[in-house]
Amino acid sequence: MNANGRPPKASRAIYPGSFDPPTNGHLDVIARASRYFGDLIVAVVVNPQKREPMFTLEEREAMIRECVKDLPNVRVEHFRGLLADYVQDREADVIVKGLRVVSDFENEMSTALMNRSLSDVDTMFLMSDQRYSFVSSSIVKEVFFLGGDVAALVPAPVMRIMETKRATLNR
Ligand code: PNS
């Protein structure tokens, strides 16, 4: 059901990202977006631009799958190359993104316009919940690997995999 208690349109949305790792902010966007679209694909980019991911593709997909297992219209996939091509390949209607703070807007606007010019797909933005407006994967990783407590910022299954990864790296 959507927010008005009506069945959602049979539309397909794609929520792309690096998810390195997924945070409570990501999960909040996924849960809210799943109410508005018939079918939501969480699409993990294989090689994030500019940086090597800390978590493997398999780890990132597994973490999200565990977190969305109770959302029947959400599935997790990965993609390589241009998001615009992947959107066309999956015959999706819209890209979904979260917007945390004003500084996100500049980059998101040019990305959304580029994706529309490449594949005529619109991007819809959900404002991040204010509890997570400061939460990014990179800040979570930095604080966690320096010994800080991030348990309130990531889902429990993600916390477990992060602890395993830290133990492996410290060995
Ligand atoms: O979680 P992130 O790192 O902000 O996600 C960025 C992502 C994966 C959405 C973006 O890097 C992307 O779409 N990459 C695919 C390559 C692509 O299409 N680049 C051109 C975008 S205009």
pLDDT in tens, 65-123: 999 999 999 999 999 999 999 999 999 999 999 999 999 999 999 999 999 999 999 99
CA of 82 to the centre of ligand 1 (A): 8
The predicted structure's pLDDT at residue 11:
94
Atom number of ligand 1 nearest to Cα 86? 18
Distance of CA 108 to the CA centre of its chain: 14
pLDDT of 10 higher than 70:
no
The residue whose CA has the least distance to atom 8 of ligand 1 is 17
Q: Give the residue from 45, 85, 50 showing the smallest Cα distance to 61.
A: 45
Strands (E), 71-164: 74-79, 94-99, 122-127
pTM, whole model, 2 decimals? 0.94
Residue 17 Cβ inside 6 Å of ligand 1? The answer reads: yes
What value does the mean pLDDT of the chain take? 93
Active-site positions read: 26, 50, 100, 137
Please report where in the chains the tokens 């910022």 appear, as a residue: 153
The pLDDT tens digits of the residues spanning 28-39 come to 999 999 999 999
**Is pLDDT above 80 for 167?**
yes
Question: What is residue 29's predicted lDDT score, i.e. its pLDDT?
Answer: 97
pLDDT computed for residue 169 by the predictor: 84
Higher pLDDT, 158 or 169: 158
- Residue ranges with strand state E in the chain: 12-17, 39-45, 74-79, 94-99, 122-127
Query: Which residue among 83, 90, 101, 116 is best mutated to probe the pocket of ligand 1, counting the most ligand atoms within 8 A of its Cβ?
Result: 83
Nearest alpha carbon, ligand 1 atom 12? 83
- pLDDT in the model for residue 2: 64
What is the predicted pLDDT for the residue at 125? 97
Residue 157 pLDDT > 70: yes
Q: What amino acid occupies position 13?
A: A
Measured from the CA of 79, which atom of ligand 1 is nearest?
15
